Amino acid sequence: MNGASDMLALVVDSVTPLTPAIKAFVLRSANGEPLPPFAPGAHLGVQVVQANGHPGQRAYSLAKPHDGSDRCEIAVLCEPQGAGGSAWMHALQPGTALAAHAPRNDFALHAGSAPPLLIAGGIGITPLLCMARSLAAEARPFDFVYATRSEEATAYLHEVRALGGTVVHDGGDPSRGIDLRALLAAPMPGRHLHVCGPRGMVQAVVDTARALGWPDDHVHFELFAGAIEQAGDAPFEVRTLRSGKTLTVAPDQSLLDVLIAAGLDPLYDCRQGDCGVCVVDVVEGVPDHRDHNLSPREKADGKTLCTCVSRAKTPHLVLDI
């Protein structure tokens, strides 16, 4: 689980615009030591400052496989409607110090006995590019499809094409994008599907794969961090039953961050609604579930919620913590 002990002191080494809205950042360790090893699909939990001055954390996938050096690369989409973390990242200059949790991997590559299928949407390219680079370096076959709005909005276009990937531009209309039924038509033993991108695209890929017979344990997905925030989020109040606190969660804060800032010591791990480590019991109020861990039955029951991503449909929640 995350904690202060896994924090890395980093320095921005270089900043490269990839598109009008996406920048690549090469980060290096501040002490020159090699970075901890990581596998394709891993991300850094970068500590950012949001527009309201509150600290926050953003998960940025690593775009290149670990090479034993003191450097790594991430890419960041600036989201003007977000809480300000990505805009803060975009303002960084070479030489700026950064703190980040050591790489974690909640989206591991499953090479299997058949060529893996990699599907990326938008900024979701970063972990899949890392996987493709790793597979290519090992001369292992794979299939790689990447959907973006337009050529101008496509980060790493030449890199993906050089790896044999297919790039599809949908003009902002997913129905003109990847033909999922054709792409996923033939699941086969040992072939694993990996998808990362916006929520709607990931959901469409996962739903289509299930409908076409892909086993759940052969379908692996990750949402990029910004996909968790939704327009129109309202503040809500939380009372913690056992620790006796009453807290307010602002629209640009996660419940988990508010609990931590209040001095509680909640369990958490992925911060993306995947692992279930942060699940707590709900005593009063109606959760607004945004995780991928709880079952549809558990979500309908409303007796638990993931503090890292979920919010409230009611003005107040009472939690058994």
Structure token digits, residue 176 = 């003109």
The b/e string for 66-95 (b: 16+ C-beta within 10 A; e otherwise) is beeebbbbbbbbbbeebbbbbbbbbebeee
Residues linked to residue 56 through DSSP beta bridges, in sequence order: 48
| Residues 6+ positions from 224 with CB-CB distance below 8 Å | 61, 77, 122, 123, 124, 196, 197, 198
Choose which of 8, 118, 275, 317 interacts with ligand FES (CB under 6 A). Answer: 275
Question: Among residues 173 and 216, whose Cβ is nearest to ligand FES?
Answer: 216
User: Site for ligand FES (CB under 6 A): which residue of 77, 270, 312, 319?
Assistant: 270
Q: Which two tokens stand for residue 218?
A: 């052969």
Choice from 115, 276, 283, 302 touching ligand FES (CB under 6 A): 276
Asked if 268 touches ligand FES (CB under 6 A), the answer is yes
Pairing relationship of beta strands 287-288 and 311-312 according to DSSP bridges: antiparallel
Binding residue for ligand FES, selected from 277, 283, 302, 318, defined by CB under 6 A:
277
Among 74-82, 177-185, 238-246, 262-270, which window interacts with ligand FES (CB under 6 A)?
A: 262-270
Amino acid at 62: L
- 271 touches ligand FES (CB under 6 A): yes
Residue 101 makes contact with ligand FES by CB under 6 A: no
Structure tokens at 111: 């090479």
Alpha carbons 2 and 269: distance in angstroms, whole number? 6
Q: Taking CB under 6 A as the rule, does residue 70 contact ligand FES?
A: no
221 touching ligand FES, by CB under 6 A = no
Q: Binding pattern to ligand FES, positions 280-319, x when CB under 6 A?
A: -----------x-x------------x-x-----------
Chain residues binding ligand FES by CB under 6 A are 268-271, 273-278, 291, 293, 306, 308
